[in-house]
Structure 1
Amino acid sequence: MSTVFEKIISGQWPGRFVWADDVCVAFATIAPVAPGHVLVVPREPWAKWTDAPSDVASHLMKVARHIGLAQEAAFDVSRSGLVIAGFEVPHTHLHVIPLTTEKDVNLAHGRQAAPEELDSTMEALRIQLLAMGHQSHVPTSVSSPALS
């Protein structure tokens, strides 16, 4: 049985992508805690982040850091936060969240976002990632994890 994230990565379900490489992708969550909230998801569906091999876990953290730095610049926040919980989908994922307050790390505060908001925030984040030199990892389209 496929997870929701496998369906998003494969294109069966829509997603708004800002990062893609051989190990993982990053895309908008449909219920952000703050504008620009992104999920970093490995292509392999490990149920828990502690199940992923060490090199994969390290890579996810590295990608989350790149995205966090881009969020700080794109959304003019003083920091970004990282939450790894994973109870709602049994597929490892890191929540990278632009923070204005510590309350922004509480996933229970997430609310369904309008498609226009998701489009504009993900485009702003994609532009910032490109400006930071990550052209080789920013997909050619927000709607696909393909790099070419």
Structure 2
Amino acid sequence: MPREFFLTSGRGTSPTSPMNAFDKALMEAGIANCNLLLVSSIIPPKCRERRWKKLDVGTITPVVMAKAIGGPGETIGAGLAWAWEEGGRMGLVAEVEGHYDRRALISALDARIKEMAETRNFKIKDVKRRFEVMKVPQGVFGCVVVAMVFVL
């Protein structure tokens, strides 16, 4: 079970393809050379937030990730909101991705983390957010990525 996690994010553009824009966003986030394993939105008990950590090439890396890809002139946004249950038993992570500006992205993150807590019948404390928003330049594809990276 993970003992620590950190947050990272990145942006990328490419004239070639959306996949190349995604790769560049992962490069900026510092996790492009890991084998990313998408996991659901639960922070395990006793798992603590830490500063960014360089991971070895090829590391199998569990992540909760939000990713948005867009074309020229589009506004895209991706973000995570996370919070601990008041008793500290577990944490929740909400993801938002798509065609969002900053204000709409924050509103969607807040609504999703709130509903996740209500579904579990508990109160959360100290909601944190990390997000990226980009207006994709003309002539390129764009990608924004935000990831909670679990350290095993």
- TM-score by length of structure 2 reads 0.28
Where is the helix percentage greater, Structure 1 or Structure 2?
A: 1
- TM-score by length of structure 1 reads 0.29
Higher relative contact order (CA 8 A, sep 6+): 2
